[in-house]
Amino acid sequence: MTILAGVSVLLLFSCSNPFAERTSESIGKDSVILSDILKQVDSIAGWSQIDFEKLGIIAKMAYADTANFMHEKIYPCAKCFLRPEAAAALIKAADIAKKQNLRLVIYDCYRPRVYQQKMYDIVQNPDYVAAPGNGSKHNRGLAVDIALADASGVLLDFGCAFDDFSEKAHYTYQGISEQAKSNRKKLRDIMVEAGFEPYKNEWWHFNYSTVSYPSDDFLWNCN
């Protein structure tokens, strides 16, 4: 039912909305299938959008750019949607970071479920990208990929980049500097205090598991 509704909405927008064209271009050969599934919406009930500027958060939304492991821009623009409880926890994390003279750097929030398959097909390792069957908490608006920067916006050293899907990304990986280990702990402490759970295989990934929601497939409007 919702998928059919999504298709009708998309058909209505497909000729006049430049955003729809950009999406198709960026998704390339998968565009027909993805366009059939993604629901394009103007307002999203039951979700909260994070106001980067108001919270002093640095938005590095990786999939709204080509600087990611797929080298492909898959989101039409950089927006961060979360379920309200996770959004409240993220606001708390931003506040805790601020008190330590630090700023949050966000790489990903809600991720439409349809993209989970695309990412999984490339990485093919459930340690780093959740299998599409159950999906990821990103698909439910209950996960964030995040780092820390100093007050002037310079990214702290975490020992490896976000999206480094190797053992270097493991929280307890020993082959990094003491400073990087300390920064990983600093990030983890802030996020845990705010109510998130860490993920051992990726220093940047945090789940909000106090509530549960279904996966979704809406794609935000950039206007």
Q: Contact positions toward Zn ion, by CB under 5 A?
A: 145, 205
State the Cα–Cα distance between residues 176 and 122, nearest whole angstrom: 26
Shortest gap between Cβ of 11 and Zn ion (angstroms)? 32
Closest CA to 93 of 196, 194, 218: 194
Tokens of 138: 């990103």
Please identify, using beta-carbon distances, which residue of 20 and 142 lies nearer to Zn ion: 142
Shortest gap between Cβ of 48 and Zn ion (angstroms)? 18
State the Cα–Cα distance between residues 37 and 219, nearest whole angstrom: 10
Tokens of 133: 């069957």
Residue 209: HSE in the Cβ half-sphere, 13 Å Cα cutoff: 9
Strand, coil or helix: 130: coil
Strand, coil or helix: 111: coil
Please identify, using beta-carbon distances, which residue of 34 and 109 lies nearer to Zn ion: 109
Shortest gap between Cβ of 143 and Zn ion (angstroms)? 5
Shortest gap between Cβ of 103 and Zn ion (angstroms)? 19
* Chain center to CA of 109: 3
Please identify, using beta-carbon distances, which residue of 39 and 205 lies nearer to Zn ion: 205
Please give the backbone phi and psi of residue 34, each rounded to the nearest 5 degrees, phi first. -60, -40
Q: Which residue is nearest to Zn ion (CB)?
A: 205
Shortest gap between Cβ of 85 and Zn ion (angstroms)? 17
State the Cα–Cα distance between residues 170 and 15, nearest whole angstrom: 45
Tokens of 163: 């999206």
Please identify, using beta-carbon distances, which residue of 19 and 213 lies nearer to Zn ion: 213
Please identify, using beta-carbon distances, which residue of 40 and 139 lies nearer to Zn ion: 139
Please identify, using beta-carbon distances, which residue of 3 and 131 lies nearer to Zn ion: 131
Shortest gap between Cβ of 3 and Zn ion (angstroms)? 25
Shortest gap between Cβ of 8 and Zn ion (angstroms)? 32
First to last CA, the chain: 26
Please identify, using beta-carbon distances, which residue of 14 and 166 lies nearer to Zn ion: 166
State the Cα–Cα distance between residues 167 and 155, nearest whole angstrom: 21
